[in-house]
Structure 1
């Protein structure tokens, strides 16, 4: 009988010990879960802060280009005469312009090795806007500015950042896919409109393309 009592007592002690260990493990699991929840929230907060910082950098990068236009479609032979080309285009579209109105003019590399890609930075945004608006309305070609050789369309556009160029391309693709009527840029922003009477939406990121339905 003493052996039985001893066994029961030992079993009870083992049970108490196991129960205490289980409570300890349960508490540790709870703390671990709480720590994981805190870490997930911190990670979420850091991701949001990083996204906001990246958006701000992209916004500032585009803002720095608001006095610029990008000219494409001219032959590669003019790549070192960017300012001269801007003046010739201005004369053709009847926009008063002289060298004092141009802050910087240079060429940049392009995938098409046969065409020049010119960046013109104006001293004022007003002058840039007048030049850009008139050039777009004119639908220029190389023959309009007295170039010999095959006639080629000249494109004068806002100078977008690489990020916004990719986003604009994606928006144009979405426009075709969803049969929207308009996608355009204004002051570095990408805008879209389904019909003449529908609301204009601003495309700031890839996620905004889902609004084009």
Structure 2
């Protein structure tokens, strides 16, 4: 039984790794209100421009809002936009410059504007682990949490070493609680 449980866990980890790999050209953009007849490709190009990154619609393989159309029609939504780029180089340039969005928003006088966040597109399992690691970060006074290529990274402070979380085994090894 123990061997079967280990094999199942290994298969789940491998499937999650493959699914995360298939998202390597994707980002999620959060905090942009939805408008009627919007073109998400144009929104992505405009966000990139705010970051100082010049892209064209041709750099976007596909983009759309996440969530069901029915939910989006009932109220003003800030449903995330998922975008798949034609190249990882373009995706990485946008992701690596994402902190400029916060600096731009803070410097504007329109302080009621909602913040815009750019995140990696994580699998359901990785989103769950990220949330659990985020709770751990807050409860244990860690200063930094971020993702890189689907891996969750934690750092206590500027001088501490980085903890990489790939799966629940890494969470256990680092005494990060796992909830069901």
CA 1:65–1:78 in structure 2 vs 1: closer, same or farther (change >3 Å)?
farther
Match of 1:109 among 67, 71, 86: 67
Query: Which of these two proteins has the greater Rg computed from alpha carbons?
Result: 1
**SS of equivalent residue, structure 2 residue 32:** strand
How far is 1:135 from its partner? 2.4
- In the superposition, the TM-score normalised over structure 1's length comes to 0.70
The CA RMSD measured in Å over matched residues stands at: 2.6
CA distance in 2, matches of 1:70, 1:78: 20
CA 1:188–1:95 in structure 2 vs 1: closer, same or farther (change >3 Å)?
same
8 Å contact kept, 2:30–2:80? yes
Following superposition of structure 1 onto structure 2, how do residues 108-187 of structure 1 map, counting pairs within 5 Å? 108-109=66-67, 114-139=77-102, 141=105, 150-187=112-149
8 Å contact kept, 1:192–1:200? yes
In structure 1, stretches of 5+ residues that fail to align are 1-42
8 Å contact kept, 1:77–1:116? no
1:100 aligns with 2:34: no
- In the superposition, the TM-score normalised over structure 2's length comes to 0.82
Tell me the matched-pair count.
Answer: 167
Between Structure 1 and Structure 2, the one with more helix by share is 1
8 Å contact kept, 1:191–1:202? yes
**SS of equivalent residue, structure 1 residue 77:** coil
CA distance in 1, matches of 2:121, 2:95: 11
Q: Which has the higher contact order (CA 8 A, sep 6+)?
A: 2
8 Å contact kept, 2:101–2:117? no
CA distance in 1, matches of 2:92, 2:23: 12
1:47 aligns with 2:5: yes
1:56 aligns with 2:14: yes
